Structure 1
Amino acid sequence: MAPPYFIRNLVPRREKRTEGRPLLEALGSLTWVQWGHFWSGWLAWTCDAIDFFSVSLSVSRLQTQFHKSNPSDITTAITLTLLFRSVGAVIFGIISDRYGRKWPLVVNLILIAVLELGAGFVQTFKQFLALRSLFGITMGGIWGLAASTALENLPVELRGLASGVLQQGYAVGYLLAAVINLTLVPETSSTWRSLFWCAAGLSAFSAFVRVLLPESEVFIRAKEAQRARGETTTNKTRVFLHETGQMLKRHWLLCIYAVLLMTGFNFLSHGSQDLYPTYLKDAKLFSDHNATVATIIGNCGAIAGGAIAGWVSQYIGRRLTIIIFVLLTGAFIPLWILPTSFSALAAGAFCIQFGVQGAWGVIPIQLAEISPPAFRATFPGVAYQLGNMVSSASAQIEATGANNLHTTIRNSAGQLTVVSDYATVQGILIGVVAAFILVVTIVGPENYGSHFEKHKTAFEEGGGSDELEDDMREVGSRPTSVQVDEKRSTSEPV
């Protein structure tokens, strides 16, 4: 008996693999505008991470500032930010798919800079929570817009590697926030506020960089074609709304799958990152300095894992790469939670983030390739942020669990000390989530090597029902990549 479809299709068929130009040749073919689009998307995503992790790195200082004795009170701000991100993903994703990538991203980044700046001036905890909730809305738009800006103008041969590098902009942002927290924050009288102000300045700089670059080439061509046909803005909006409905009617099951996948991935990343400095300080009795240094080391592992996984996925496919790196994550959990020395725990942080963010490095291109092609900003962004919303309580789950579960360790003086058992709580959470991701990934679709840039945009008739050359059907019943390219060559270009 033949193995199930989802097992025998873990490695894409030969004709679905990207067998184009060598990597260096493809890199050499890029124009300055293509480089600019990629790095502007990467920078926006990096700034998003700096802004988000400003709270995670400042939990103890925020407790002191707002007179809160329990870390779970402060993590409420993290939960609210994650809850409201799906709202921003819908708003900015729809605007981007309708009007283009450039100005929606610019406005998004400016709003983030304003709210992050304001968070550095708040005086009460209620003010802080309100600003972080609004911040969640603006923050929710960044990922979908940044990923579409960075990837859709690149040759298909580079998208796997580019996906890994793009996604690890998040780890770079966390690393930069940790460096600022390690060096600048202790030296300023404003302490944690200086971290928020620096994050605001970097977001404003990212908006300025995007202003200097042109609109995405995909949208330029689509708008020129629409003008040539004499279609008005009102008509394009009507078409856009109709095609959005068609997309939801046709791809509702894919939408559910993507949300389930991103729920698992967001639990994996937030569960291993958001309270990691607090875990080291409260459960392992590290100093603020050593906890921050270990966080930096962990993010170095994340950057390496994301880039390597993205590159590997170009050869063995997206799902198989995710599975390999999630298995690595599970294997490294003991090293992440059992040791007590700085060197061993830092090594565990590097290895666990190598696996977690290695799997994450494939996600931007995986979601872009399985998305309805006309909705490459809305679909991935909303799926990502709905997953964030479901996983928004991960930090509070860990904080509450650790407060109710205690263990005894020896401090630096050799005395026995009772501490909150973050290690056990985080180990169980990450293990369960890793198993969930494995199942969802194995049974899910893959559209490896998709030329999604050749499809219609969301304001063109037929965009909502535009077909994907997908791997969701049985082998033999789907067209080969050659057949798809031949079919496209006879259709009207975008």
Structure 2
Amino acid sequence: MVGIDSGSVRSTTSRSLNRRVSLSSIRSQHVEEHNRHIIRPPKFTSKSIKDYFASRIPSLWVGWDELRQYHWHEVVNPFQPLVEMNKHQWNYFLMAFGCWTMDAFDFFLTSLNIRNLAKSFDKSTKDITWGITLVLMFRTVGAVIFGVMGDHYGRKWPYIICLSCLILIQLGTGFVTTYEQFLGVRSLFGVAMGGVFGICAAEALGDAPQRARGVLSGIFQEGYALGYLLAVCFQRAFDNTERVWQNMFFFSAGVSVIFVIWRLFHPETDNYQRQKARYEKGVESRSSSMAHIKSEIKTALKTYWLIIIYMILMMSGFNFSSHGSQDLYPTLLTEQYHYNNNKTTVVNVCANLGALLGGVVISHASTFIGRRTAVLIGNIIAGAMIYPWAFKPMWATAFFMQFGIQGSWSVVPIHLSELSPPQYKAFVSGVAYQLGNLVSSASSTIEATINDTLHDYGKTMAIFIGAVLIYLMIVILLGPENRNADLDVERDDVLTIDDIQEEDEEKVHEVGHPKSDDSSAFADESYEKVDIEHKV
């Protein structure tokens, strides 16, 4: 008869028990973390209002308990979280980043060619700025159209249609011969451009690991600054040609074709495919797809209507800060300070390098210090640079101004995604962004009008940006935050321990039925390492 080592049995039983306790603890933490991010309909009792506003300043600090969970190299190295990205996730991020970069490249061609366009059409600077204003005004139309398409029918084809339309419109702009034709094609450009942000933000961040979303948000958003930087560099190259602005529009159309072809060869993201599966399951339980859509919209509006209003107010401030600090800055350098083309190019390049660095640093910091705190820090940096930026323009002042402005902006994609209804991310984040653009659409025209009275671009832009930053900081300080919330469509579903256990059991059975208590513990341990750790 074979003897049994009782010590070995106790050791095996102890390990099994410890693993189960550990797994139970992880499950409990996951449930608590998930449910903490559920957004519920707003309450307007005096107590809830008082508690909310009383928490605005304390909530800017995440607390030492959370910060101690991170190693120092995770905090100081913004690229550390990117090691978690796989090829699939990089593929969709880079496709979205490329589209957003070319979108910005196309937009800023008008700003960089205001003088050339005014000369071609025999119009004033103020008249040409209406080409910028109309783009910003019509972007909301595109956000609505393509946002609805993206959330209900997939993001692939709205992406392709948006970028294809931008290609055709850029080509058409190069052929216009009158001021009226110019305004017409820029209005159409605004519609196509409006659909890009919501679709691309959902594509870029939807499948990304949670820890990497902060810095990815910054890198994605600074595709806007990279587009401006590339436009400045190529503008300088095309300055030596006869038809400067026409050649720039033709060139920009050609580059975008690459990203249309790239997107054609890939399916929808995993995030959207899960959303589609949930949608189809919901339709099966109702009499029609329209009944399901109406039910979802009603629930989303009941829960998120106040947050959506806040997002529009926030994005109005952000867009005023961006366009107010960029659109007429080349004009300030050339007309007021008489910079030549080379010097203007250097200053604008440095401004966008500052934007790129600020975007990476501040967005990464937002993962640890909070989205609102990171935005406020960026705005404080920008506010400190207003005087030297407007009255002592040089590469350093432009660099640090855009470090603050665009550094704050870098938090926008992930902040909007975390606050938006998960099943309507593309629509809500895109429309909020573009309604903010609509409100701020006349920023360059307003500045040009003020300058007609003050006759000083530096003073005009300093007053304008100062007022905008004060407004934006107040809005951010009083606003909500949902940092590190899940971006999947199940985010607002209440989760219980039983839900996690059922999912665990399904995954264990997919591997194989355990034959003993110890093998069951081993299966639990394997699942813990592979899946639960990823969730948390």
TM-score higher than 0.5:
yes
C-alpha deviation, 1:222, in angstroms: 3.6
C-alpha deviation, 1:289, in angstroms: 2.9
Q: Given the superposition, is the C-alpha separation of residues 266 and 487 from structure 1 closer, same or farther in structure 2, using an over 3 Å criterion?
A: farther
- Of 213, 228, 238, the match for 1:159: 213
Whether the 8 Å CA contact 1:17–1:448 is kept in 2: the answer is no
Counterpart of 1:53 in structure 2 is 108
Instruction: Classify the secondary structure of the residue corresponding to 1:6.
Output: coil
Query: What code does the residue aligned with 2:95 have?
Result: S
Whether the 8 Å CA contact 2:286–2:292 is kept in 1: the answer is no
C-alpha deviation, 1:486, in angstroms: 4.6
Q: Given the superposition, is the C-alpha separation of residues 236 and 193 from structure 1 closer, same or farther in structure 2, using an over 3 Å criterion?
A: same
Query: What code does the residue aligned with 2:463 have?
Result: I
Q: Given the superposition, is the C-alpha separation of residues 241 and 125 from structure 1 closer, same or farther in structure 2, using an over 3 Å criterion?
A: farther
C-alpha deviation, 1:14, in angstroms: 6.8
Whether the 8 Å CA contact 2:156–2:263 is kept in 1: the answer is yes
Matched, 1:62 2:102: no
Matched, 1:438 2:491: no
Q: Given the superposition, is the C-alpha separation of residues 238 and 446 from structure 1 closer, same or farther in structure 2, using an over 3 Å criterion?
A: same
Counterpart of 1:37 in structure 2 is 92
C-alpha deviation, 1:191, in angstroms: 1.2
Matched, 1:103 2:114: no
Counterpart of 2:138 in structure 1 is 84
Counterpart of 2:198 in structure 1 is 144
- Of 61, 78, 91, the match for 1:11: 61
Structure 2 distance, partners of 1:87, 1:111, is 14
- Of 309, 314, 319, the match for 1:261: 314
Counterpart of 1:489 in structure 2 is 500
Matched, 1:223 2:276: yes
Q: Given the superposition, is the C-alpha separation of residues 437 and 485 from structure 1 closer, same or farther in structure 2, using an over 3 Å criterion?
A: farther
Identity %: 40
Matched, 1:390 2:390: no
- Of 365, 368, 371, the match for 1:312: 365
Cα displacement string for residues 14-39 of structure 1 (whole angstroms, at most 9, x for unaligned residues): 78779589676753332211101111
Query: What code does the residue aligned with 2:437 have?
Result: N
Task: Structure 2: state its 5+ residue gaps.
Answer: 1-49, 507-536
Structure 2 distance, partners of 1:452, 1:273, is 32
More helix by share: 2
Query: What code does the residue aligned with 2:297 have?
Result: T
Q: Given the superposition, is the C-alpha separation of residues 486 and 440 from structure 1 closer, same or farther in structure 2, using an over 3 Å criterion?
A: farther
Cα displacement string for residues 125-175 of structure 1 (whole angstroms, at most 9, x for unaligned residues): 111100100110110010111111000110100000000101000000000
Whether the 8 Å CA contact 2:233–2:349 is kept in 1: the answer is yes
Structure 1 distance, partners of 2:283, 2:457, is 62
Counterpart of 2:353 in structure 1 is 300
C-alpha deviation, 1:244, in angstroms: 2.0
C-alpha deviation, 1:372, in angstroms: 1.3
Instruction: Classify the secondary structure of the residue corresponding to 2:60.
Output: coil
Q: Given the superposition, is the C-alpha separation of residues 160 and 62 from structure 1 closer, same or farther in structure 2, using an over 3 Å criterion?
A: same
Whether the 8 Å CA contact 2:275–2:489 is kept in 1: the answer is no
Q: Given the superposition, is the C-alpha separation of residues 18 and 182 from structure 1 closer, same or farther in structure 2, using an over 3 Å criterion?
A: farther
Structure 2 distance, partners of 1:329, 1:115, is 34
Structure 2 distance, partners of 1:488, 1:326, is 43
Give the number of aligned pairs: 449
Q: Given the superposition, is the C-alpha separation of residues 338 and 432 from structure 1 closer, same or farther in structure 2, using an over 3 Å criterion?
A: same
- Of 177, 193, 196, the match for 2:249: 196
Structure 1 distance, partners of 2:66, 2:499, is 16
Query: What code does the residue aligned with 2:90 have?
Result: W
Matched, 1:270 2:308: no
Instruction: Classify the secondary structure of the residue corresponding to 1:188.
Output: coil
CA RMSD of aligned residues (A): 2.6
Structure 2 distance, partners of 1:176, 1:41, is 17
Moved segments of 4+, more than 6 Å: 14-18, 490-493
Counterpart of 1:412 in structure 2 is none
Q: Given the superposition, is the C-alpha separation of residues 295 and 36 from structure 1 closer, same or farther in structure 2, using an over 3 Å criterion?
A: same
Counterpart of 1:330 in structure 2 is 383
Whether the 8 Å CA contact 2:317–2:436 is kept in 1: the answer is yes
C-alpha deviation, 1:12, in angstroms: 3.1
Query: What code does the residue aligned with 1:47 have?
Result: M
Structure 2 distance, partners of 1:130, 1:230, is 41
Structure 2 distance, partners of 1:215, 1:279, is 44
Cα displacement string for residues 375-418 of structure 1 (whole angstroms, at most 9, x for unaligned residues): 11111110000000000000001111112212xxxxxxxxxxxx
- Of 248, 256, 268, the match for 2:301: 248
Whether the 8 Å CA contact 2:218–2:410 is kept in 1: the answer is yes
Structure 1 distance, partners of 2:267, 2:292, is 25
